[in-house]
Structure 1
């Protein structure tokens, strides 16, 4: 199994980037919202692709936000997760309650309690399609600078 995944070209379609109900990122003012945005910024610094922020507080008791993104190699998936861990610890003095999948590197889950982070390889992301599962949640817009678009 290869450690790298060929990123789709901008002309290819993806089931991951469905348009759901959107709200501007500026509406986030809670502690959990700040955590979600901090994670998104850290992931953007590591060139995470197809980043999605879902506000699930109104539809689930599991968390307030889900932050989902794609890494195009196992190394990048781990680097994105490490960047999020470091930035959150330095900026907000928080560590995740639980972390899974870092050794494998195809799907890393960081559980901060109020924010759950999924960093996935494209095949895992397409297979599990969490955006569709949580499709009734409010989707928050990300700028292209924050990973809302495809990597270049």
Structure 2
């Protein structure tokens, strides 16, 4: 699938120190929660050398309309609260998996079937995993 391929074309910014208390991180989680995203998980990839970002934030939407609403909410809130635009985003046409790339944090908003099929949490099982209230 295209979204993962785009990640290999850019490098995370080591000068930007991101953690779970960072404004960007908190804003993304809050934007997902406001649109009732489910099964919200963050993966801390900072200790994984081949990782393309410091964090993945993964959540589910129950239908394509909610998927779009969550993606748009993340982008709007990050712009408003952090004055930051994504490096790239994909998936707004197919509405199965929206990927929003903030370089050091990559947001994956997925319908249940693609999430299960692609198994990002299993693929990055070495990462520290944290669940966030939905």
Task: State the TM-score, normalizing by the size of structure 2.
Answer: 0.81
Aligned residue-pair number: 115
Cα contact 2:40–2:60 (8 A) shared by 1 = yes
Q: Distance in 1 between matches of 2:47 and 2:98?
A: 25
Larger Rg: 1
Q: Deviation at 1:103?
A: 1.3
Q: Distance in 1 between matches of 2:85 and 2:47?
A: 24
Q: Deviation at 1:64?
A: 0.8
Which residue number corresponds to residue 126 of structure 2?
Answer: 136
Q: Deviation at 1:141?
A: 3.8
Alignment counterpart, residue 77 of structure 1, candidates 67, 78, 86: 67
Task: State the TM-score, normalizing by the size of structure 1.
Answer: 0.72
Change (3 A) 1:68 1:113: same
Which residue number corresponds to residue 55 of structure 1?
Answer: 44
Instruction: Give the aligned CA root-mean-square deviation in angstroms.
Output: 1.3
Structure 1 segments of 4+ aligned residues over 2 angstroms from their partners: none
Q: Does 1:28 align with 2:20?
A: yes
Alignment counterpart, residue 26 of structure 2, candidates 20, 37, 41: 37
Cα contact 1:48–1:80 (8 A) shared by 2 = yes
Q: Does 1:105 align with 2:86?
A: no
Alignment counterpart, residue 80 of structure 2, candidates 75, 87, 90: 90
Q: Which runs of 5+ in 1 are unaligned?
A: 1-26, 148-152
